[in-house]
Chain A
């Protein structure tokens, strides 16, 4: 470890924490504890809240069913960012479910990626799905495609695939940018049933306008729990919601305190630690 020593100047808080990271660490710890508690409750069979109905996620099976009836493929686009993006990770959870359903119903599943890292993972997920459904022969590795690392080249390639392969269902979940409207509108012209979801707020209006179903922000993160319907996974979503309530309370306290005493900075100083 000698080569790691003294690379930079870091200050210690409470002896071990990095400056500015103390509060963040405790928030991470709090969420981890919450999640463990909820998982423990689920595993012991105690009642935990369920997730409300999300129209976009309910429609996933409907979309696959439609594609199966029409004998046309299902396309999935997991966004244009790499695997270090949480939205891409959320999309992988949905791909696992969709590819399993497609394997079960013998529907062609096309995954189109803009980044080579998710491509490698998605190929493995899809192969595994077909294996688990007892259809390893039906898996076609050419149906999982890395098209281009360039945003608009990828967009052009996707449009071309929509025109040629004419999928009946298109699911776009992940991190999207300017290409989202082009993809969604082209899908709409083709008459596909479309489910669009992203946490990028600047693209949400386009998905809401052009897709049949839209998943807004955190709904994509709850998707894997929602689709798996496992109480243990629900526990993580409940933990996340409890954290949100805590943040909401903090905001409320801050607003009230700042209204009463505008010069106060104790909360800001506390959170900066």
Chain B
């Protein structure tokens, strides 16, 4: 708790007082953060190893995949250490052709999930849900060239107006309000931790 409060005071000093800026305290804090992150990453590495090793030892369901995971994890680590560069031939090839491709593949699933989520969620259950449905359809079609073609035949020169007004006026007002609230809330959470009212981050389960 004392460490939390002291660290918070150091960060406040580094951001709000000119001596803190003069001394460039944030750079040192950032370096310490990077070091602690690296140590925690090693801890996470150990956690993965322990869990999957136990799976293999006890031959739990899917233990073969645990072998593949451990081989991949340690293999890529060894390759990276041996080549000591992101540009290394094997390290770079694995990244470009496996990791990047898999990342893009999983991200592309979002498109399909959006279709099923929209199909399930947009029902005319209540007045608000109906308004949501109409706005969603108008905006969705408005963002695609087909929407321009459809609206142009009905609305002529006003075809872009509906979409722009909904996104630029209606939506932006709500976004600003939610963003403002979220930032103030985040601010208050940080203050609670700084004042020692909340202790979850140090492993406590309670509040004061």
Write the residues of chain A forming the contact surface with B, with a CB cutoff of 8 angstroms: 1, 4-13, 16-19, 21, 24-25, 28, 31-32, 35-36, 39, 82-84, 86-87, 89-90, 92-93, 95-97, 99-100, 115-117, 119-121, 124-125, 127-129, 132, 142, 145-147, 149-153, 155-156, 164, 178-179, 181-182, 184-185, 188, 199, 201, 204, 206, 208-210, 216-218, 220-222, 224-225, 228, 230, 232-233, 236-237, 239-240, 243-244, 247
Contacts and interface: CB of A to CB of B under 8 A. Distances in A.
Contact of B192 (A153, A156, A236): A236
Interface of B: 12, 15-25, 27-28, 33, 36-37, 40-44, 47-48, 50-51, 54, 61-62, 99, 102-103, 106-107, 109-110, 113-114, 116-118, 120-122, 175, 178-182, 184-193, 195, 197-198, 200-208
A117 B109 CA distance: 28
B201 A149 contact: no
A221 B188 contact: yes
Instruction: Please give me the 8 A-B residue pairs with the lowest Cβ-Cβ distance, nearest first.
Output: A124-B203, A218-B185, A221-B185, A116-B44, A86-B186, A7-B24, A10-B21, A199-B182
A239 B178 contact: no
B145 to A, nearest CB: 23
Given A31-B191, A117-B37, A119-B40, A18 B20 contact: yes
Contacts of A39: 197
A210 to B, nearest CB: 5
Contact of B116 (A93, A128, A185, A201): A185
A92 B206 CA distance: 11
B23 A182 contact: no
B189 A86 contact: yes
A181 B117 contact: yes
A148 B140 CA distance: 33
Given A11-B18, A120-B43, A95 B181 contact: no
Contact of A216 (B44, B62, B178, B204): B178
B18 A19 contact: yes
Contact of A182 (B109, B178, B202): B109
A155 to B, nearest CB: 6
A220 B175 CA distance: 17
Contacts of A13: 18
A149 B183 CA distance: 25
Contacts of A117: 36-37, 40
A209 B117 contact: yes
Contacts of A145: 47-48, 51
Contacts of A115: 40
A90 B182 CA distance: 12
A25 B13 CA distance: 10
Contacts of A100: 205
A201 B179 contact: yes
A35 B195 contact: yes
B207 A152 contact: no
